[in-house]
Amino acid sequence: MSTELSPIDKAKFVAAKKAVEFVEDGMRVGLGTGSTAAWMVRCLGELVRDEGLKIKGVPTSTRTAQLAREVGIEVVSLDAAKWLDITIDGADEFDGDLNLIKGGGGALLQEKIVATASDQMIVIADAGKEVETLGQFPLPVELVPFGWQTTQALIEETLVSLDVLARKSTLRMNGDTPFVTDEGNHILDLHLKRIGNAQQTAMVLNQMPGVVENGLFIDICDRVVIGYGDGRVEVRDINAGTIEENMLDFVESENVFSDLAD
């Protein structure tokens, strides 16, 4: 186990630690997927263990469900929870309007379903995830396996009419075989470089046969919690139009979390 966290991992940790302050006793909480969200799940588990926090967690992937159970969080299905008070998740990119690209971990479908079934969504991220315009990170699109190459060709043809800078797409792989999502689908990564109209792009992609969902999260995120390697945390609330800055103490004994890596 590492004796000291890197600046990027410290940034993820303090963002996660700040975000769980919004979780209250009795809440139904959507649990995101990815390296940053894993810090959040561990922080919630610590509150459950040490402070008696009582919550029901709805995970967005099988690996998040496993981690949540390991740290003592009660895990329920979304159907059982019906509606959530809050979802906390990471993002691959976010812009000034808190629109997101998600799905780098391959869980975008469950992440979007859970996020939209919540009263509020909080995104936790390090400062490097903020961009002026979405698109530098490849946009994931979940496809049904049947006829995926035909769907890929249709997507690339359609991209010609959209406000994007590039139109390359690649099937996500897991070694020598296609990556398979929890729902048994494939992921096509669109290397667009710049997405001029994210809302239009999301709508057009989702109208195509074979496309299950895309990784553009538009008008879903309510707050973003940005962590920095020196312990600073910035909270931006898109609804209230506020920006709040804090400094969190980072205790080296909290390196119990340092087994979490990208």
Task: Give the single-character DSSP code of 238.
Answer: T
Which residues are part of a known binding site? 33-36, 89-92, 102-105, 129
Q: Token pair for residue 88?
A: 């906390």
Cα separations in angstroms, 227 against 163, 186, 205, 247: 31, 32, 32, 10
Is 234 one of the annotated active-site residues of the chain? no
Which residues are part of a known binding site for substrate? 33-36, 89-92, 102-105, 129
Q: DSSP letters along 96-164, please? A: TT--EE--TTS-HHHHHHHHHTBS-EEEEEEGGGB-SSTTSSPEEEEE-STTHHHHHHHHHHHHTTSSB
Cα separations in angstroms, 22 against 19, 86, 104, 182: 6, 8, 25, 28
Active-site pick, 24, 46, 74, 111? 111
Q: Which residues are catalytic?
A: 111
